[in-house]
């Protein structure tokens, strides 16, 4: 999936640019100036001559340096090394799907800026944004990325864009489009899902009918469609209880007073074959309470009792067998803030990049990955965002692939992985500033 042509262009540019390091410094800086020149122009085409002038102004390159020529190769044909390096970087951007050729020769335009100033690739582009020994974050539309994947997936854990009345900066489908949108995304994922695999899907609980306090039934329709059209079976509806969730829905809870504030989001867990699901609650056992530990130490219950017409019975010695821990309930209680999210925001701001507007704490994907996979399994996230799923998988020794179509978010996520075994980031991504 890695863009070999783009990497070749970059390496060649590095090799040829050695004589001019005193003029323009590191190649990563020159790449950033080339990308910025197209970014500043937006969708307005700019010629190579305009590119040279814009980059020279940004990099403080003397005008005469753009006219100097040096013999290149066996033929000894003379070229200007600075302009040549700019064109190599131009080709890197082209291969990355960031610019496209305009109508005239030598004229290019920047095509990937969204209305909110974020940067998406052209259709079909799939590039490695960064990688570790265990995983890879890919810049590209998830349907392009996973449509080409030919490896067995053990867990899909993701939080897709919500069909909100006011979409976040990265956009998202509308409520009527939502079911078909999710099915299109998940079809190639389900095709590669192991029979023992799982899908954990975090969805919003704040989807309302237009101008109405009535809740949309799109989540119910989605659950049925995933079963009827993709053959998935619903295993559970986990509850993510978020004590720090902002009050809402504002209009229906705070203004008209018709609703209570929402305090949770659902996480739907699916499996293609429930009997073969490799989930194991032993991997997520929690410590016993002091009271229960004391009960075990005493040898268990000393009384006889019956509750709910005999449905629950207590007899002497019950709960006295020592166990490794208690089985968690299907309610995960945690706020959306955590150290990993704080580090991501800090890195994004330090790089001058936009912060992803939605995210979950690392504890959510951490719990799901431990519960639903084994070490070495492949975990994927088609809506990578801050790459929290990748980070959780990395720490737990699972292989991972995260796709994200906004390069700004991926660049901001990369520093958190810098200390991971085998970390690598292409120079073209490392130099990305989004400006």
Question: What is d(CA 398, CA 373) in angstroms, rounded to the nearest whole number?
Answer: 8
Q: For residue 287, what is the DSSP state?
A: P
Residues of the chain with pLDDT under 70: 1-28, 39, 42-43, 96-98, 103, 109-117, 122-125, 164-172, 434-435
Please report the pLDDT score of residue 74 as a whole number: 78
Please report the pLDDT score of residue 31 as a whole number: 75
Which residue among 110, 138, 155 closes a domain? 110
Output the DSSP codes for 199-217. EEEE--S--B-TTSSSBP-
Question: What is d(CA 425, CA 412) in angstroms, rounded to the nearest whole number?
Answer: 12
Angle, vertex CA 357, rays to CA 202 and CA 241, nearest 5:
40
pLDDT tens digit sequence for 102-116: 767 777 766 556 656
Please report the pLDDT score of residue 11 as a whole number: 39
Please report the pLDDT score of residue 409 as a whole number: 92
Q: How many CB atoms lie within 10 A of CB 42?
A: 12
Please report the pLDDT score of residue 320 as a whole number: 79
Which residue among 76, 110, 144 closes a domain? 110
Please report the pLDDT score of residue 396 as a whole number: 98
Q: What is the CATH number of the domain that holds 391?
A: 3.40.50.150
pLDDT tens digit sequence for 147-204: 888 899 999 999 998 886 665 555 668 888 899 999 999 999 999 999 999 999 999 8
Residues 166 and 196 reside in one and the same domain = yes
Tell me whether residue 175 is in a domain: yes
Q: Write the Ramachandran bin of 12: left for phi over 0, alpha for psi from -120 to 50, otherwise beta.
A: alpha
Please report the pLDDT score of residue 395 as a whole number: 97
Tell me whether residue 172 is in a domain: yes
Please report the pLDDT score of residue 10 as a whole number: 34
Tell me whether residue 316 is in a domain: no
**Number of domains making up the chain:** 2
Residues 136 and 81 reside in one and the same domain = no
Question: What is d(CA 144, CA 314) in angstroms, rounded to the nearest whole number?
Answer: 56
CB 417 within 8 A of CB 388: no
Residues 46 and 82 reside in one and the same domain = yes
Please report the pLDDT score of residue 87 as a whole number: 86
Residues 140 and 199 reside in one and the same domain = yes
């Amino acid at each position: 999936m890695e863009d070999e042509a783009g990497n070749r262009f970059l390496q060649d540019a590095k090799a040829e640019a050695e004589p001019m390091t005193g003029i323009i410094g590191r190649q990563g800086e020159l790449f950033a100036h080339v990308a910025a020149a197209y970014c500043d122009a937006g969708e307005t085409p700019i010629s190579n001559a305009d590119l040279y002038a814009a980059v020279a102004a940004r990099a403080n390159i003397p005008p005469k340096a753009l006219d100097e020529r040096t013999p290149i190769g066996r033929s000894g044909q003379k070229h200007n090394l600075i302009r040549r390096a700019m064109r190599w970087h131009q080709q890197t951007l082209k291969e990355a799907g960031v610019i496209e050729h305009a109508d005239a020769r030598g004229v290019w335009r920047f095509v990937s800026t969204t209305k909110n100033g974020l940067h998406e690739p052209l259709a079909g582009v799939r590039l490695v944004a960064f990688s570790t020994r265990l995983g890879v974050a890919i810049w590209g539309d998830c349907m392009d990325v996973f449509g080409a994947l030919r490896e067995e997936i053990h867990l899909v854990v993701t939080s897709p864009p919500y069909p909100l009345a006011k979409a976040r900066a990265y956009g998202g489908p509308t409520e009527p489009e939502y079911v078909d949108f999710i099915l299109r995304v998940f079809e190639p994922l389900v095709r590669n899902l192991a029979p023992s695999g799982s899908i954990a899907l975090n969805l919003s609980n704040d989807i309302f009918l237009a101008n109405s306090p009535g809740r949309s039934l799109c989540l119910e329709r989605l659950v049925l469609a995933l079963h009827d059209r993709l053959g998935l079976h619903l295993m559970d509806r986990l509850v993510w209880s978020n004590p720090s969730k902002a009050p809402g829905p504002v209009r229906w809870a705070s203004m008209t007073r018709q609703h209570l504030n929402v305090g949770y989001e659902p996480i739907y867990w699916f499996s293609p074959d429930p009997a073969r699901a490799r989930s194991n609650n032993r991997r997520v056992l929690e410590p016993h309470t002091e009271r229960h530990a004391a009960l075990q130490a005493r040898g268990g219950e000393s009384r006889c009792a019956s509750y709910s017409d005999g449905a629950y019975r207590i007899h002497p010695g019950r709960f006295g067998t020592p166990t490794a821990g208690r089985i968690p309930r299907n309610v995960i209680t945690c706020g959306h803030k955590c150290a990993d999210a704080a580090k991501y925001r800090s890195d994004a701001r330090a790089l001058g990049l936009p912060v992803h507007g939605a995210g979950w704490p690392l504890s959510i994907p951490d719990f799901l990955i431990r519960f639903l996979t084994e070490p070495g399994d492949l975990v994927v996230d088609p809506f990578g965002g801050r790459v929290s799923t990748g980070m959780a998988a990395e720490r737990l020794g699972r292989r991972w692939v995260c796709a994200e179509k906004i390069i700004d978010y991926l660049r901001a996520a990369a520093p958190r992985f810098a200390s991971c075994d085998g970390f690598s980031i292409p120079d073209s991504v490392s130099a990305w500033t989004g400006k």
